[in-house]
Amino acid sequence: MELKEMKRISALYFQATNEKNKSLIENYLADEIIFNLGCGKDGKDMTFKNPKEHTIHYNILESEDFHKTKNVVFQVAEDDKVVTYFTVDGTHDVAWAGNAPTGNKVHYYALYIFRFENGLIKEIWATGDIHVLMQQIGVL
């Protein structure tokens, strides 16, 4: 698969998330996706192996967090991976990580690494500036 096409598909993931539109991305996701979260409970990384429909439902359509818009800043592609650096803008309008909604505006940077296998997104590594996010909602 060409690097340009992998970058296009990775950007579609964020567009699908912003628009809550699974039809934009569902044909580009493997049947099982490995999702690596670099800011898990107690500071430990978490890894999930989820069926495609679970990923679509929880990460794209019904995200329970308050992140409203993700905008790609830049992408770098090499071999079977695309690194996407992006901003997250939203309002803390639902409970998150045990913290009641504050109504505060949030803006922070995050990074996803997409790994492709047979032309499909097979694995995602995700991390973000959670320290800045927690400052913005008044936790720190």
Distance CA 7, CA 79 (A): 12
Average pLDDT, the chain: 85
- And the tokens for 76? 């770098």
DSSP 58: I
Adjacent-strand bridge partners of 84: 75, 112
| Complete domains list, the chain, with CATH | 3-88+108-129 (3.10.450.50)
Tens of pLDDT, residue by residue over 121-130, are: 999 998 889 8
CA atoms within 13 Å, Cβ hemisphere of 109: 5
- And the tokens for 106? 């949030």
Give CA torsion, residues 119, 122, 123, 129, to 10 deg. 60
Q: Which secondary-structure segment (H or E) carries 6?
A: helix 3-19
pTM score > 0.75 for this model?
A: yes
Q: Are 84 and 14 in contact (CB under 8 A)?
A: yes
Q: Residue 133 pLDDT more than 60?
A: yes
Which residue from 41, 34, 51 is spatially nearest to 112, judged by alpha carbons? 34
The gap between the terminal CA atoms of the chain, to the nearest Å, is 44
Cα-trace Rg, the chain: 15
Tens of pLDDT, residue by residue over 49-106, are: 777 776 776 666 655 556 678 899 999 999 999 999 999 898 888 877 788 888 899 9
